[in-house]
Amino acid sequence: MNWIALFVAGLLEVVWAIGLKYTAGFTRLWPSVGTALAFLSSIGLLGWAMRDLPVGTAYAVWVGIGAVGTAVVGMALLGEPVSLPRVISLGLVIAGIIGLKMSSLA
């Protein structure tokens, strides 16, 4: 259950990271409210997952999911550039996330 909470926390990190773009420096009310709620929910689930998961592993996986997810959304929906080095780099981050998950099972 902790891994599911951590995964959802990572997805919510993507939501608040992308949401920051739409807050216009927190001058737009509803995007700011949505971003803040996603942030608080993400942090809350991360904290909950860390009750039983190693701190370093949980934090790295959370950041990795957020970073990869935000980059993918940026490329897919926001017109950010897609390049081979960028895709390979994101693949390496995903490999790191998988490695951390697998190493925590031992």
Q: How many domains does the chain have?
A: 1
Q: What domain range is 7 assigned to?
A: 1-105
Q: Using alpha carbons, list the distances in angstroms from residue 37 to 33, 34, 104.
A: 6, 5, 30
Distance CA 93, CA 35 (A): 24
pLDDT at 94 over 70: yes
Evaluate if pTM is beyond 0.85: yes
Note the pLDDT tens digit of each residue in 13-33: 999 999 999 999 999 999 999
* pLDDT given for residue 23 in this prediction: 97
For residue 106, pLDDT over 70 is answered with no
The confidence score (pLDDT) of residue 104 equals 79
